[in-house]
Structure 1
Amino acid sequence: MSILSFFSGSEEVSVSEVVETFSDPACDDSFISGNTDAMLTNSRYGLILNRHNSAEYDSHVQALAWVSMEKDMALVPAKPVDDDSHSHPGEEGVELPSFYLDRHAVTNHQYAKFIAEGGYSQTDYWPREIWPNLLQFVDSTGYAGPRFWRNGKCPRDKETHPVVGISWFEARAFALWCGKRLPTSLEWQHAASWCTGKNGRGRSVRYPWGNTFSPEKTNTWAGGPGETVPVDEYYDGCTPNGVYQLIGNVWEWVATQFQYDVGTSGLRVNFEQPLAEIRGGAFDTYFETQATCQFRTGQPFLYRADNLGFRCCLPANQLREPPSPDAFD
């Protein structure tokens, strides 16, 4: 099977099929490597907390993993999918389960740990169909890694910037390595666009901070420096639960195939090659209408650009129960 046929087996590909096939959190012992100290240091707590992993960890290790996760990730409550979500056909009325989402986009520093642990050479992280493409996933000097790095390293002054120049498959491989997955399009939008009503119902806002575009709250063409910035900047543009830069700085890969519907006609545009959805806009996004929680577009799965990164999520129902309070001492 070629990369171009990866998602083209049928005209209809549901979000659930995409997530189940390509983005499940690791639940296989083959993904677990290294001791628990190294796993916690490298923020691979998703492997420790995944209830489907057969490995056993004592309550203290699990407590440390919970502390790390709740520091790095924000809980996004369950919510019914409604018409206001601009969802994919057939998803209205479905209950979107609660999940945890990274507070920040994955940084160059974090991605370097994945490379250091042999992420590009461990085939478990990569679908067999794209193994030949691994030779193309190199930096500007031929080392395995993001497209714009040099000699296998990111610029020293950009360690806390979002990693860019990586394909959808590289983002997915990192997520598997740390025991997480890419969020679906609906999950990403639910996290970014909170509702004004009670109990998760009501109109969804256009931006994480409200309904009015504010260039000082996000890194886009309108008010940014014209390049990426550290992932912890623009605090005023956070969601109420503390997720940064869902709008601006870099576009973000999600675990959903991009399908463009023509109005309410039910017609769908077929592209020459499958595209993955990207969300959120970037530092070079000029039009405000493209930097909203609802706007979605797509790029080829092998696309590697200087304005495109990602963040990861963890489904709440796949986590082990938190240990007793004594374990946190």
Structure 2
Amino acid sequence: MSLASLLTDAIGIWKPRASSDVASRFPDVADAPPDTRRLIRNRRYCCVLTNKDDLPFDDVSLSFAWQALQHDMAMVPGGDVQQVCDSIIATNAGFEIVPSPNRVVSVDSIYLDRDCVTNADFARFVESDGYGNPDLWPAVILPNVLQFSDSSGQPGPKYWVNGDPPSDKLDHPVVGISWYEASAFATWAGKRLPSSAEWQRAGTWPKGHSSDGTELHFPWGNGFDPAKANVWSSGVGDTVAVTEFERGRTPNGVRQLVGNVWEWVDTQFEPSTGDGVSVLLDQTMAEIRGGAFDTYFQTQATCQFHTGQPLLFRGANVGFRCCVSASEIPDVDRGVIRSSEAV
């Protein structure tokens, strides 16, 4: 179930024909129109491409925005995902959450951020008065937005000071943000949070499935490697820059889906009793995915494992990344075609 909706056959791959280094550098937008230049430099290029506000962006603006998307995001083609469902059973020691048989979920193609949103990224949202813009927040949480403050009482993530992120962690994933803050940032950027199934699809293709028909556990295969993900056994003990642990990236360049920080997704965490009866929790929870720097058990840092946190949780080990549906992105470059071949 989509949390966004609670509160308020795959399309083809887009194949770039341009040179292979196009996505390796962020575009120089000096020649773009002023409004477009400002949006793209703030990493809000999806506001140009999706044009949800019906603003008149010209072809030059669309071209620059497309180049920015290629740099920051990766295509994840649609397909089937084998999701594990949690059940709560009674044991001698009390109640225990156990995985139930997989269910197959189909997802459409998306563009997904290659990296988690960083402190530097989130600072642009804060500087643009994102906390003061009611259009970015569900009505149910508006009276409480002022409570989303940093350690000095200024609007911002929990561990910032005086509205500023740690100067030595600008390229680390932003943490200390609730699900609502993550969702508000995504809306501001013209994107959204991925669903749990979309997130899982990003980590399990195009390696396919293992010999027994199940999905691979990690973006690189079934064997865990502490050199490929920042978890407890890696020995770091804190977040790292979003570009580190490069060897653990997906084949299309999505980094740190496993490890570094858990990631908020737009799916409600809903365990059941295993016989179709849902468990009523004392508050609404969202799923988090991927494990973090302090995740001890390797089984909790797989592409399949999911758990949940309350929507207002602002932990030091939870961040997020954004996505946009591929169907929302127009053909803005003659070097881009839409394939009819399913993946």
Fold-level similarity (TM above 0.5):
yes
Match of 2:84 in 1: 86
Per the TM alignment, residue 51 of structure 1 is displaced from its structure 2 partner at its CA by 5.1
Match of 1:50 in 2: 50
Match of 2:266 in 1: 255
2:122 paired residue among 84, 97, 111:
111
- 1:110-160 CA distance string (max 9 Å, x none): 000001111011111111211121121000011100000011111110000
1:290 paired residue among 296, 300, 304:
300
Q: Provide the rounded CA distance (Å) in 1 between the counterparts of 2:208 and 2:198.
A: 18
Match of 2:166 in 1: 155
TM-score by length of 1: 0.84
2:238 paired residue among 227, 233, 252:
227
Per the TM alignment, residue 196 of structure 1 is displaced from its structure 2 partner at its CA by 4.1
Establish whether residue 100 from structure 1 lines up as the match of residue 98 from structure 2: no
Q: Provide the rounded CA distance (Å) in 2 between the counterparts of 1:115 and 1:53.
A: 21
Asked whether the 8 Å contact 1:160–1:231 carries over to 2, the reply is yes
Match of 2:197 in 1: 186
RMSD (Å), alpha carbons: 2.2
Match of 2:37 in 1: 37
Per the TM alignment, residue 265 of structure 1 is displaced from its structure 2 partner at its CA by 2.9
Asked whether the 8 Å contact 1:143–1:152 carries over to 2, the reply is yes
Match of 2:257 in 1: 246
Asked whether the 8 Å contact 1:195–1:204 carries over to 2, the reply is no
Match of 2:277 in 1: 267
Q: Give runs of aligned pairs for residues 116-155 of structure 1, distance below 5 A.
A: 116-155=127-166
- 1:70-120 CA distance string (max 9 Å, x none): 110000001034xx333699x955531100000000000000000111101
TM-score by length of 2: 0.81
Q: Where does the alignment leave 5 or more consecutive residues of structure 1 unmatched?
A: 1-13, 24-33
Establish whether residue 206 from structure 1 lines up as the match of residue 204 from structure 2: no
Per the TM alignment, residue 203 of structure 1 is displaced from its structure 2 partner at its CA by 3.0
Establish whether residue 310 from structure 1 lines up as the match of residue 308 from structure 2: no
Q: Provide the rounded CA distance (Å) in 2 between the counterparts of 1:87 and 1:317.
A: 28
Q: Where does the alignment leave 5 or more consecutive residues of structure 2 unmatched?
A: 9-33, 87-99, 337-343
In structure 2, the CA distance between the partners of 1:320 and 1:53, relative to structure 1 (3 Å rule), is farther
Match of 2:13 in 1: none
Percent sequence identity is 48
Per the TM alignment, residue 322 of structure 1 is displaced from its structure 2 partner at its CA by 1.8
Structure with greater strand percent: 2
Per the TM alignment, residue 269 of structure 1 is displaced from its structure 2 partner at its CA by 2.3
